């Protein structure tokens, strides 16, 4: 558009001016025009870059939030399990005392002994409901992860590292040992 306007003015002036002046006018017109710069980013390119940056930030934030949610759920579940383990560990000495009392009772038909036995069985039922399992030890090979050897006996009628007596029962919760069994090991 600039060129068309300049050409009209030039043609008007050409009729009024001499050929030398016309050449000068044309030279001035060519030197005053500035080329459009292609290197400057357009507004659309800037907005596209910003949009891509915002999308990346949003996706990262969503991923971080999802990871936070999963981590929080895992921590909440582990806090419950840890609470169960702590409570059961506090109750185990009482259960051990019930076992000792029942083991020392001479008259199994006595009403008092039956009452103690009922309480003991009820407590074991509660442990079972919480997912607590007794560690089976007698007749099994000694495992230092689950058993604490407190006595050793040389006896040829038993196998190598076989547990022959359980002095205190051990317990597990969801595959984790709460308390090791205290055992006597043969050979």
160-178 pLDDT tens trace = 999 999 999 999 999 999 9
Q: List beta partners, residue 162.
A: 141, 186
Percent of the chain with pLDDT over 90: 73
Average pLDDT in the chain? 86
Ranges assigned E (strand) in 28-175: 132-134, 147-153, 162-168, 171-173
Give me the pLDDT at residue 57, please.
97
* Residue indicated by tokens 């006996």: 153
1-52 pLDDT tens trace = 454 555 555 555 445 666 666 666 666 665 555 555 556 789 999 999 999 9
Looking only at Cα atoms, what is the longest distance across the chain? 143
In this prediction the pTM is 0.63
Sequence-ordered list of residues with C-beta below 8 angstroms from that of 151, at least 6 positions apart, any chain: 165, 167, 183, 184, 185
- Interatomic CA distance for residues 187 and 154, integer angstroms: 5
CA nearest to 172, candidates 81, 97, 103, 102 = 81
Angle at 61 between CA 54 and CA 66, to 5 degrees: 150
Give me the pLDDT at residue 14, please.
46
What mean pLDDT is predicted for residues 100-122?
Answer: 94
């Amino acid at each position: 558009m600039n060129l068309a306007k300049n050409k009209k003015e030039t043609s008007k002036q050409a009729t009024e001016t001499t050929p030398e002046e016309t050449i000068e006018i044309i030279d001035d017109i060519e030197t005053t025009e500035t080329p459009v710069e292609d290197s400057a980013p357009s507004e659309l390119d800037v907005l596209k870059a910003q949009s891509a940056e915002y999308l990346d930030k949003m996706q990262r934030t969503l991923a971080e939030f999802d990871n936070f949610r999963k981590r929080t759920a895992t921590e909440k579940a582990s806090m419950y399990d840890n609470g169960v383990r702590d409570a059961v560990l506090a109750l185990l000495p009482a259960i051990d005392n019930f076992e000792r009392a029942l083991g020392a009772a001479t008259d199994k038909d006595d009403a008092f002994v039956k009452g103690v036995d009922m309480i003991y069985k009820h407590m074991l039922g509660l442990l079972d409901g919480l997912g607590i399992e007794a560690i089976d030890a007698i007749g099994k090979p000694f495992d230092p992860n689950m058993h604490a050897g407190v006595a050793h006996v040389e006896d040829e009628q038993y196998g190598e590292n076989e547990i022959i007596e359980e002095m205190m029962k051990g317990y597990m919760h969801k595959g984790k040992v709460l308390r090791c069994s205290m055992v006597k090991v043969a050979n």
